[in-house]
Amino acid sequence: MVLVSPQLYAKHVSSSGIVQKIGRLLESDEEVDELLKMSNVMAVTRLKYNDHGIVHARIVAGTSLEILELLLKRSIELTTLRDGITKNLDEVKAVVFLSAYLHDIGNAVHRSDHEYVGALMAKDIVDRVLRKSLDIHDRRLISIRQEVLHSIYASGYDAECLTVECSIAKLADGLDMSEGRARIPYRLGKVDMHAVSALSIKKVEIELGERPIKVSVFMDDSAGLFQLEKVLIPKILGGLIKDLVEIHVLTQGRTFKYYPKD
């Protein structure tokens, strides 16, 4: 069982050559750094929402790679490999990592439609990172890039994921919800159901379970169930891996199990 936290990013960067290379490129890229900073200026400083910057980017990227690892242990078929877009696991990791890390950069323009805007903004960034990390320059770069842009665009609640890889990043985004870091934005300082629910979630852990992805959500109040219903469950149902996820809710000495379904 591993905690959904920034430590997952460090774990996967240190254990995979391709992830380390992409991570180094992303974190030394001035445009990426400034877009993540501006995402928080728009979302946190001006709109008074929760974090959308580099910490969230690292958490979602590391969690995505951890989920990918769980699926691989159960030999789950990956869509981009099946369709011949990616040729090996390094290329799959590149798609998952890049889309997870960059999925919120559209907030640097505005919260509204940020997934759509972010997919457009990410094009040149993804191109230059892929060229330097995978050393591909032909039409394959375009197709792999489009998989990343698809995952960024479909990270929103209203867009359907068409790949397992996209579904991984979308689920990871929904899992970053402990101690008030929930993905449904709530106004900072405003006491409403979103805020109370988000703040009641103390930690989230993932591991292999009866299904490939077991999610354990620890909360100190049942109000946190609202957050699951409005944040996590829609993210799961918007992807292709809903049959591969089980949720265990641990609160006030009781455990509840939930198996997502349409």
What is the pLDDT at residue 137? Answer: 78
Lowest-confidence region among 53-57, 73-77, 147-151: 53-57
Mean residue pLDDT of the chain comes to 92
Instruction: Please classify residue 53 by burial: count the beta carbons closer than 10 Å to its beta carbon, then call 0-12 exposed, 13-18 middle and 19+ buried.
Output: buried
220, pLDDT greater than 70: yes
Q: Would you say residue 184 has pLDDT above 50?
A: no
Q: Looking at the predicted structure, is the pLDDT value of residue 56 above 90?
A: yes
Residues sharing a CB contact under 8 Å with residue 54, sequence separation 6 or more, in sequence order: 33, 36, 37
Q: Is the model's pLDDT at 132 over the cut of 80?
A: yes
Of the listed ranges 14-28, 176-190, 221-235, the least confidently predicted one is 176-190
The residue with greater pLDDT, 253 or 153, is: 153
Has residue 119 got a pLDDT over 50? yes
Average pLDDT over residues 189-213: 82
Confidence grade of residue 233 (pLDDT, cut at 50, 70, 90): very high
Q: Is 168 exposed, middle or buried (0-12, 13-18, 19+ CB in 10 A)?
A: buried
pLDDT tier at 223, thresholds 50, 70, 90: confident
- Averaged pLDDT for residues 175-200: 66
Q: For residue 183, what pLDDT is reported?
A: 44
> Residue 161: enclosing H or E segment and its boundaries?
none
Check the CA dihedral 23-50-69-76 and report its sign.
Answer: negative
Both tokens assigned to 223: 């109000």
Question: Is 90's pLDDT higher than 90?
Answer: yes
Q: Using the predicted structure, report yes or no on whether residue 212 has a pLDDT greater than 60.
A: yes
